[in-house]
């Protein structure tokens, strides 16, 4: 089975792209580490030398992302993952509706069958992050693969000021699973799906 990881490359300048300890919110990471890319500690937790791995890096085409992409490659190298295992997808920042759909399909095309897929939606434009989130809801419908995790790295703000030392890593996979449950309930022709969801979540 191939371990596939998808992430956007930050559009921050190199001085703005901080190395942080992203503390996992509601789950544990035994191999957590300081990073500029929240997907890195997730990979460190799951990847073992010798594993089949594919990294998909979505890079918005602007002045800062080439340097940030090289930094991402260096962080992967510390985990034992070479550039040959990385697929870079370069995209213009303003995709538009058709461009975003094409990007979504390109990402899905790049995901191998027989994959465990983890995605980080932290970086990129807001439409790109939303598009990647939607892509994760389609993976299991179009591929013989499984979504293992969806993550978002947050730097909280207190009184309008960013607090990097309180950076958190959120696991959003439950929301994708909730969509799966709703689809199953519809197939079972459950009449009051909302009531059924409340009953399930309160068990």
Return all residues near 181 (Cβ < 8 A) that are at least 6 apart: 197, 200
* pLDDT for res 200: 65
Mean pLDDT of 154-167: 90
Query: Which ranges in 111-172 belong to alpha helices (H)?
Result: 126-142
- Two tokens at 70? 């090289």
Model confidence at 23: pLDDT above 80: yes
Q: Which has the closest alpha carbon to 92: 70, 135, 125?
A: 125
pTM here?
0.89
Which residue bears the tokens 């929301």?
A: 175
* pLDDT for res 155: 92
- State how beta strands 23-25 and 86-91 pair: unpaired
Which is more confidently placed, 162 or 144? 144
Cα separation, 172 vs 150, in Å, equals 5
Q: What is the mean pLDDT of the chain?
A: 88
Taking the alpha carbons at both ends of the chain, their separation in whole angstroms is 33
pLDDT confidence tier of residue 201, bands split at 50, 70 and 90: low
* pLDDT for res 197: 66
Model confidence at 114: pLDDT above 80: yes
Continuous segment of H or E residues that includes residue 60: strand 53-60
- Two tokens at 118? 């983890």
Model confidence at 135: pLDDT above 70: yes
* pLDDT for res 118: 97
Return the number of other C-beta atoms located less than 10 Å from residue 110's C-beta: 14
Mean pLDDT of 106-126: 93
Which is more confidently placed, 147 or 94? 147
35-94: pLDDT as tens digits = 999 999 999 999 999 999 999 999 988 877 889 999 999 999 999 999 999 999 988 766
Model confidence at 115: pLDDT above 90: yes
Report the range of poorest mean pLDDT among 10-19, 29-38, 159-168, 172-181: 172-181
* pLDDT for res 16: 84
């Amino acid at each position: 089975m191939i371990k596939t990881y998808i992430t956007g490359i930050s559009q921050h300048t190199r001085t703005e792209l901080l190395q942080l300890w992203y503390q996992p919110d509601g789950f544990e990471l035994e191999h957590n580490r300081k990073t500029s890319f929240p997907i890195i500690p997730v990979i460190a937790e799951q990847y073992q030398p010798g594993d089949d791995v594919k990294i998909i890096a979505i890079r918005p085409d602007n002045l800062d992302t080439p340097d940030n992409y090289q930094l991402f490659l260096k962080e992967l190298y510390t985990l034992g993952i070479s550039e040959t295992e990385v697929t870079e997808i370069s995209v213009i920042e303003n995709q538009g509706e058709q461009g975003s759909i094409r990007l979504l399909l390109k990402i899905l095309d790049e995901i191998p069958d027989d994959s465990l897929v983890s995605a980080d939606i932290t970086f990129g434009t807001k439409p790109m992050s939303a598009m990647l989130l939607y892509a994760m809801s389609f993976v299991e419908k179009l591929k013989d693969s499984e979504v293992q995790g969806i993550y978002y790295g947050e730097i909280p703000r207190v009184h309008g000021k960013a607090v990097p030392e309180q950076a958190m890593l959120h696991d959003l996979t439950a929301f994708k699973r909730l969509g799966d449950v709703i689809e199953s309930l519809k197939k079972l022709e459950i009449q009051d799906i909302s009531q059924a969801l409340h009953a399930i979540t309160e068990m």
